[in-house]
Structure 1
Amino acid sequence: MAEQPMPALRRLIAALAPLVPALRALAPRPVTAADRLAVFPTRGLPLSRPVDIRWNDHQIPFVEAETDGDLAVALGLVHAHLRGGQIALLKRVAQGRLAEIAGPVARDLDHILRILDFRHAADTVIDRMPQDVRDFAEAFITGVNAYHALERAPPPEFALLGLRHEPYTLRDMWTIGRLAGTDINWLAYFGLLRERGTPGFAATWARMLKAGANATASFSMDEGQEALATLLTATGRSGSNCVAVAASRSASGGALIASDPHLALSLPNLWVVAGMRSPGYHMAGLMVPGLPFVAVGRSLHIAWGGTNMRSASSDLYDISGLPPGEIETRETVIRTRFWRPARRKVRRSRFGPIVSDAKLARSRPGDTIALRWIGHEPTDEITALLRASRATTPEDFRAAFAGFGVSAQNMLVATAAGRIGQVMAATLPLRTRFPPPDPVLDAADPDSHWQGLVDAPGLPWATDPPDGVLATANNRPTDAAVPVGFFFSPDERVRRLYALLGAKPQLTPDDLAALQADTLSLDAGVLTRHLVQVIRDAGLAGGHAAFVDRLAGWDGDYAADSAGPPAFEALLFHLVPRIHGASSADAMPRLMAQWNAIIAFLPDDLAALAPERRRQVLAEAVGLAAADAAAFPAWGDMHRMRVAHILGRLPVLGRFFSFGDYPTGGSRETPMKTAHGLVRGRHDASYGSMARHVADLSDPDASWVTLFGGQDGWLGSANAADQIPLWRQGRSIRLPLRPETVAREFPTVLRLEAVRR
């Protein structure tokens, strides 16, 4: 008998029904701030007393609680409300469970993430946590889980990605914190393993050490390593600028601070803004979704920020000679969406996990390479940062970082008493030889082993400098008896910051906001003048006079309306590969395409060429660059800021999550960092300032913040990207601390009812 059409139609509808919520994520319904707050649960919550959460128009909350425990619960509720989907994704990244979302293509990523084992020391640290810190952290987790238990609907992207909420645990929280503390040196290590031992590698390694190569892209990487690099730079605090100004240099008479952390540019932002007041905490600033502390912000007594120290917190060891009995082996099952599970081997030694087992960190045949990382030691960043936020002096602030491990930070602090200080918040290994002659150490050599660990109280620090200013920008430390690292940013950002701080005898918060938007590259200006002279000396200026004049008239300012950067960047794009005998940027060692190496070696490498070869290289590069640059009157025509959700990286579907792009200023090492590689045409900035914070300690209400994007991670929310205009214009949102100001500027109030009496 022929099948009846109605049952067949019903079966088709039933088969397609699960796709409907997924399709909604591709065209989410616009949601106002009022709509979003209307779904925030206010009853049946695990609180001992009522809590008020005040909200401003940007959906930034200020939590007012009568107990510290209730504050923590309310913060957990807020994080789950604003970034529940993001926390779920961070948890799966930290656990190596991306294949559950993306299918078989993510198995290699999951394998290396599981080998890196972000959870390794979790149980030990949790057992050792001071009771007050553990109580606060567990109350935060209670808030996250309570929100999801009462949630009316999961985030729109859950159906698309095949996600569902799982209980959030203290172990999950700690693991996300470890993910955020990733050692960015790994990206260089994994890229160089396969090149180690090849002809010329020793010279390349020596150049790398001299240049202080940017560890995020030092050697050639395949597609999988590129994906890992993107993942780790999107979740780890790998960059940043921070400055502090003492009261003696402040127009208001109060100490000042300004911070702008750098991350891969995508939405939702890795920072969420919150203010809070309880008996033990009165502060406001930037928090990482899923973590209970303010990482950058201010209290009534101090303001703080920091930059990645770029410390060598890891070492690679050749453990080929270890007896098999010293290697622990287990099998891990990678559950895979749309496919059957995969089984992979995970091995560990006393020198750490064996990373050479992973395809994305594979070395030469026969090598067995282990990774020893400070992040596998039982350090406690949650306790340190909660303690630091309650400090009142630079000395208290420094003492709070005892036991802080990863990622190592140069922390700056400004106090209400007008003082400033700089603290090395880190745990560093003591080494006999540093830097090593080879990036892989011999485990059989006792002198290669760590000789102990030293943390913040044992590391150098600075306080109250005579000139009244401090600045840090991932630059090489100038005073550290303990070896710190070898992959640092060039010092041009920190030189520019100090120049701007020294330009006026008395500084204001507006001056610091202008500093964060500065687009001058000192070294680009110097290199441009050198190249113009070399081109003229070679007799090549006449044939491309307009192009050379365009270069000669540029001072290194990467303002969006500047005409010089397109000419300079197009010249570098064609010149740098030719100096190294390569046909294109993709065909040359990635190290030599980095800004560190360009400013360190390009003039000498060009001069070292035979005269005829040098003239040929210059002629070809100038001719091609002139043609490329002619299409771009200004830097903003070439250099763009793309506003897109992290799902915008998905193949095919990614276009649904792109919200436009616009011209932007800045470059690789300008204070307003909007990084890029060698470019000759229109391109997107890939990495830069994801948030800005400025505070004046003379006034409890003088604190301001801006996010790249917005507060709310909910697709379709009016507050998902509403701060982009502020970010572009250098404007900000005030984060006051006085209760009466908070009441006026955060007018929407949610009263959370208690269920425990």
Structure 2
Amino acid sequence: MAFMLRLLLLLFLAGCASIDPRPVGVDRRIAALPAAGAAIERPVVIRWNRHMVPWVEAETDRDLFFALGLVQGHLRGAQIALMRLAARGRLSEVAGPFATEIDHALRILDFGRAAPAIRAAWPEETRRLMAAFVAGLNHATMRAEPPPEFALLGLAPEPYTEDDLLAIGRLAGTDVNWLGYLSILPARGTPGFARLWERTVAAGTSAPEAALPPDRRLALVRDILAGTSRAGSNTVAVAGRRSASGGALIGSDPHLALNLPNLWLAAGMRSPSFHAVGLMVPGLPFLGVGRNPEIGWGGTNMRAASSDLFDVSRLPPEQFRTETVRIRQRLWFTATREVRITPLGPVLTDASVLPRRPGDVIALRWVGHEPTDEITALLAAARARNGQEFRAAFDRFGVSAQNMLWAGRDGSIGQFYATTIPARREIPREDPVLDARDAAATAPWQRLLRTPDLPYVVNPREGFLASANNRPEPLGGRTPPVLGYFFSDSDRVARLREMLAAQPRATAQDIMAIQADTRSPRAGRLAAALVERLGGTPEAAPLIEALRGWDGDYRVDARAPVAFEVLLARLVPLLQPEERQGETGNRRSPESQWNFLTAFLLPDLDALPPGRRAAVLREASAAAARDFAALGTWGDMHRLRVSHWLFNLPVVGGAFAYGDHPVGGSRETPMKTSHGLVTQRHAASFGSMARHVSDMADPDANWFTLWGGQDGWLGSAAFADQVPLWLERRSIRIPLRRETVAAEFPRVTRLEPAR
């Protein structure tokens, strides 16, 4: 025991550099880039602005991607290393036995399963550029000073393989529907489950906000799946005929975990084949959001169900293949676990950390285990010269399913569904778990629909387009097939369209204002309906006074959203069936989600006998009025915490919180800052964490902001320097013209071929 205590003390001391890092200026961090010995063919110039945004210019495509890998490894080395650990099910190597069952679950999901088949099918160009990117990433990883987090986590530099990065890509492409499935699986077979599933489908439960049982390990799984996948977003496009400049406008607002470092990295690039600016996922070689001289693009998670669950309990034993996996545990012995695989996918319920009904044997069939090719798709998309070429680039795209919007220099705009999806004809009516022996249940997997099979639209009559994770709609007069079950409420997309319609000649600044909008019209309507029902309830007087006339604006300085939210938090648990009382208060019920509230709160309240309804309103109002009296404005209650992802560590995690700020917005406002049922001060953990706006009339008119900063190095001046910009709704310009880049990115790093 004494030895273990001494070892823990040594580990703690070794990690002190990350707990209390030394300040490092931008120039010093740029100088630390390991430029010597770069494996390039021709000289490369990397320009930087004061926020450490890199603009890379190379004479060959291969050298461009080596430099991009080098830059990513330098700026986000610790982040990429942790994403590899999660994608490979190796978290126990830093977290010890606490994470063993999490790793078992991740090994079952096996994000790298399709990697060999994907590599085998790559075109020669993808193979060459990917090899160069990995070489650049490894140059930074193996030659630079290890990031401060490595000492705390017990990590050592380790080279990456292409399969590692493909696994990271699959992790980023996680099916967000898994969280929806996990939230309801434990209730299968219980009284009322069929009704719960029916209401879940009708409401279109927003899967990233799905309520799971309160377990620390399960919470970490949730953070991994929802925090690293491209789970949300808003994107709008405005045709040139409706813009002030005459050029089409594109605005993208990704929604992900609100931790630092950001899950995006801004960059500019130029080589013989590439000339673009945008946002990259660390560890991956493509632009997920951005523009080139001819076309700009953004996407929102389509929330399509790229997975199905199958009851495999009655399959014959010979259809199960068992693999033994070894899980290394920090400060402890190596553990072994078994992974069972069936023709319909791995057995998900073998993971003890995931919620399920006792005795269930359920396999997961996921498109992410198929050899789709997102890297080739997005490399081609970055070079598209028009909307037709852009859509054609997504022919083999698979996960995560994206609702892609584009805007062209010629003023055109368009939208299409980018995915590979089972050819479903209907939604399961009583149970999301299908019978593996039923040919009709497995038939959709015999024909996978791809982007060319799905609807699209070019230049709609309205002159604008908006997408916000809403239920898929007809495009170009074609109705989409059954694509999933768990979609966001329509509040965001309706508000986006309302604001776009009000701008006959929109500007880039108008798009930026739309991204920062904090109004939820549906919240205003729901509040008005509750005020009407509270009219005869004396206990509700202060709430009625605050809510009367409220338009649903979650402004920082407003009191009405406080009254509304505490009333919801006190009312919703009282409306649950007796056998589920208490679940919603602990955020364990699907009924606590916004989709359920807007679909069922008023009908459920009105369905109560008059006496019971009056008693529920009195009880909820009395408690909510006490909460309201003790609270200030929405910004006092609703906070945006500035914290590193290490904040989640036990004991030392508090050292990685750097303060919090009042913030507006809510679950389904355009500026999304998600939360559950709340009665006190709380922090938003998921929502708007990056912004992009481009005016296609001007190659230099491109603006980006990250929640946090470019540099993941603890103590760096560029670690959180964009937080004030984000809060003040300001952005960084990343131009395309060479002369503008030279003027606005004055710091220069030169890479020379090794002799």
| Contact 1:435–1:486 (Cα < 8 Å) also in 2 | no
Structure 1: tracts of 5 or more residues without a match? 1-11
Aligned twin of 2:191: 199
Match of 1:529 in 2: 528
Alpha-carbon distance in 2 for matches of 1:347, 1:231: 22
Counterpart residue type for residue 206 of structure 2: N
Distance 1:13 1:458, change over 3 A: closer
1:520–1:362 CA distance, 2 compared to 1 (3 A): closer
Counterpart residue number, 1:89 = 82
Contact 1:433 1:448 in 2 (8 A): no
- Partner Cα separation in structure 2 for residue 168 and residue 282 of structure 1: 27
1:631 deviates by 2.2
Structure 1 residue 585: Cα displacement: 3.2
Tell whether 2:413 aligns with 1:420. yes
Counterpart of 1:247 in structure 2 is 240
User: Is this contact kept in 2: 1:574–1:584, CA < 8 A?
Assistant: no
Q: Is residue 737 from structure 1 mapped to residue 736 from structure 2 by the alignment?
A: yes
Alpha-carbon distance in 1 for matches of 2:68, 2:718: 19
Matched, 1:214 2:213: no
C-alpha distance after superposition, 1:524-547 (max 9, x if no partner): 0000000001001xx11x454333
> 2:564 — aligned with what?
568
| Kept after mapping to 2: 8 A contact 1:190/1:360 | no
Q: How does 1:230-629 map to 2 (within 5 A)?
A: 230-361=223-354, 363-449=356-442, 450-479=445-474, 480-536=479-535, 539-540=536-537, 542-580=538-576, 581=578, 582-583=581-582, 585-586=584-585, 590-629=589-628
For 2:165 and 2:636, the matched residues in 1 are separated by 42
1:423, distance to aligned residue in structure 2 (A): 1.5
Q: Between 644-653 and 318-327, report the one with greater CA deviation.
A: 318-327
Matches of 1:281 and 1:587 in 2, distance apart?
A: 50
Give the Cα–Cα distance (whole angstroms) in 1 for the partners of residues 599 and 449 of structure 2: 32
Matches for 1:115-154 after TM superposition, within 5 Å: 115-151=108-144, 153-154=145-146
SS of residue matched to 2:232: coil
Moved >4 Å (runs of 4+): 12-19
1:298-350 alpha-carbon deviations (Å, 9 max, x no partner): 10111000000000110000111211111110111111111111111101011
**Residues of 1 paired with 2:466 and 2:558: CA distance?**
27
1:641 corresponds to which letter in structure 2? L
Tell me the matched-pair count: 741
Cross-structure match for 1:646: 645
Change (3 A) 1:80 1:545: same
**Cα 1:323/1:107, change in 2 over 3 Å:** same
Q: CA RMSD in A?
A: 1.5
**Mean CA deviation greater in 662-671 or 628-637:** 628-637
Secondary structure of the 2:630 match is coil
Local SS of the residue matching 1:103: helix
TM-score by length of 2: 0.96
Distance 1:618 1:399, change over 3 A: same
Are residues 698 and 99 of structure 1, via their aligned partners in 2, closer, same or farther at CA, if it must alter by over 3 Å?
Answer: same
Q: What amino acid sits opposite 1:360 in the alignment?
A: V
Counterpart-to-counterpart distance in 2, 1:496 and 1:702: 25
DSSP-derived class of the 2:108 partner: helix
Q: Distance in 2 between matches of 1:635 and 1:606?
A: 26
Which one-letter code corresponds to 2:289 in the other structure? V
Is this contact kept in 2: 1:21–1:156, CA < 8 A? no
Matches of 2:232 and 2:11 in 1, distance apart?
A: 41
1:61 to 2:54 alignment: yes
Conserved in 1, the CA contact under 8 Å of 2:585 and 2:677?
Answer: no
Q: CA deviation at 1:362?
A: 5.0
After superposition, the C-alpha distances for 1:85-144 in whole angstroms (9 at most, x for unaligned) are: 111100010000001111111111100100001111100110110101110111011101
Q: Matches of 2:600 and 2:395 in 1, distance apart?
A: 40
Q: Distance in 2 between matches of 1:113 and 1:345?
A: 12
Mapped to 2, the partners of 1:125 and 1:563 lie a distance apart of: 53
1:701-716 map, 5 Å: 701-716=700-715
Secondary structure in 2 matching 1:424: strand
Residues 338-385 of structure 1 deviation map (CA, whole Å, 9 limit, x = unaligned): 111111110101100011111133533432210000000110000000
The residue correspondences of 1:146-185 to structure 2 (distance < 5 A) are 146-151=139-144, 153-185=145-177
Cα distance change on mapping 1:380 and 1:15 into 2, 3 Å: closer
Contact 1:432 1:447 in 2 (8 A): no
What is the alpha-carbon distance in structure 2 between the residues aligned to residue 362 and residue 18 of structure 1?
Answer: 33
Aligned match for 2:97, one of 91, 96, 104: 104
| Cα pair distance change 1:213/1:451, threshold 3 Å | same
- Counterpart CA distance in 2 for 1:439 and 1:295 is 31
SS at match of 1:675: coil
Identity rate, percent: 55
What amino acid is the match of 1:165?
Answer: P
1:3 aligns with none
Q: Deviations over 1:219-258 (max 9, x none)?
A: 5424132221111111000000000011001100100000
Contact 2:211 2:587 survives alignment (8 Å):
no
Counterpart in 2 of 1:691?
690
Kindly indicate whether the alpha-carbon contact (under 8 Å) linking 1:694 and 1:705 is maintained by their aligned counterparts in 2. yes
Shift in Å, 1:583:
4.7
The 1:249–1:356 alpha-carbon spacing in structure 2 relative to 1, beyond 3 Å, is same
Q: Distance in 2 between matches of 1:543 and 1:269?
A: 44
Q: Secondary structure at the match of 1:750?
A: strand
* 3-state SS, counterpart of residue 457 of structure 2: strand
The alignment partner of 1:259 has SS state of strand
Deviation at 1:280, TM superposition (A): 0.5
Q: Structure 2, unaligned stretches of length 5 or more?
A: none
Question: SS of 2:15's equivalent?
Answer: helix
1:485 CA drift (Å): 0.6
d(CA) in 1 for partners of 2:381, 2:204: 31
Displacement, 1:20?
3.7
In structure 2, relative to structure 1, the CA distance for the partners of 1:586 and 1:343 (3 Å cut) is farther
CA distance in 2, matches of 1:295, 1:732: 18
User: Which deviates more, 107-116 or 431-440?
Assistant: 431-440
Q: 1:15 to 1:723 in 2, by over 3 A?
A: closer
* 1:629-668 to 2 correspondences below 5 Å: 629-668=628-667
* 2: CA distance, partners of 1:189 / 1:142: 39
For 1:350, give the aligned amino acid.
P
* Counterparts of 2:181 and 2:550, CA distance in 1: 37
500-509 or 364-373: bigger deviation:
364-373
TM-score, reference length from structure 1: 0.96
Question: Hey, what's the Cα distance between the residues in 2 that align with 1:16 and 1:667?
Answer: 42
Q: Note closer, same or farther for the CA distance 1:589–1:162 as it changes in structure 2 (3 Å cut).
A: closer
Distance 1:222 1:313 in 2: 26
**Which letter maps to 1:577?**
P
